[in-house]
Amino acid sequence: MAGTTTEAEEGQPLPPRCLRIDCAGRVLDLSRPRIMGILNVTPDSFSDGGRYTSVASAVAHAVSMVEAGADMIDVGGESTRPGAPEVGADEEAERVIEVIKHLHQAVDVPISIDTRKPSVMRAAVEAGAGFVNDIRALLEPGALSLAVELGVPVCLMHMQGEPRNMQAAPEYRDVVCEVEAFLLRRARECIDAGIDRGRILLDPGIGFGKNLQHNLALMRATTALAGHGFPLLLGVSRKRVIGALLRNRPIEGRVDGSVGAAVALALAGAKILRVHDVRQTADALQVAWAISKTED
């Protein structure tokens, strides 16, 4: 990467402060892999759209995920599946804000807002969210300055194109180098704008403007991507890449493959795994992590 390098860009180990992130008073310890439970309050998400559109059903599902082992909950009010249309900010806020308010009282784990819209970010944090998960890496007008103001951890994701067209014909010369360069450049821009380095996480965006080979290359590069000093958040749960690796398995048959991918990515260095199937992933990670640990 051209220009001034940071300790993170030089591939130094994660500093201790990056192993604990403060999500508006709810601390997440990243010394071991953690599970982010997916809560889609949308009518059209690819896997569970329409199942949790009432506040009561959404909160009940989130509570069940925490009881099953989720370390944080990611609330999303706009589907980002391939081909999904954009949702207006007011409609998105209407879907998520009451859920977050009730969820903040119902669970004691960090709550993440999955949005690219600054107005939704602000309203969500005011309602109780302590983490911003942005597929646009704070590139929407006003998002970066707002993130500085809000002071909560942020995840910067790479996406080629927009959800409505990102899978039309994704193309890269070298997908790992290009995604890595984008994420490090964007992290540097966020640091320069005033976001503390210890509050930045990165996500290579599996399935967001990538074909099967691109996704595999990025997943195989997890250890290298994790070596830049920013915790990695990855989401592959039930995605098309899992179905493709299982001979075009439909969504409902991708649970075991998703768990296998989560374990492999965690052992390769991912710090947060964004998943639908919390109990299965939590059990598998607990066993795999215990086996992988070396005794002092």
> Among all residues, which ones are annotated catalytic?
239, 274
Nearest to 147 by CA among 174, 128, 175, 120: 120
Place of tokens 């900010």: 89
Report how far residue 207's alpha carbon sits from residue 119's, in angstroms, rounded to the nearest whole number.
26
- Indicate the length of the chain as a whole number: 296
Neighbours of 262 (CB within 10 A): 27
Under 8 Å between Cβ of 135 and 157 = yes
Residue 174, Cβ density class (10 Å: 0-12 exposed, 13-18 middle, ≥19 buried)? exposed
Under 8 Å between Cβ of 200 and 147 = no
3-class DSSP state for residue 58?
A: helix
Neighbours of 268 (CB within 10 A): 17
Question: E strand or H helix at 278, and its extent?
Answer: helix 278-292
Under 8 Å between Cβ of 66 and 29 = no
Under 8 Å between Cβ of 292 and 284 = no
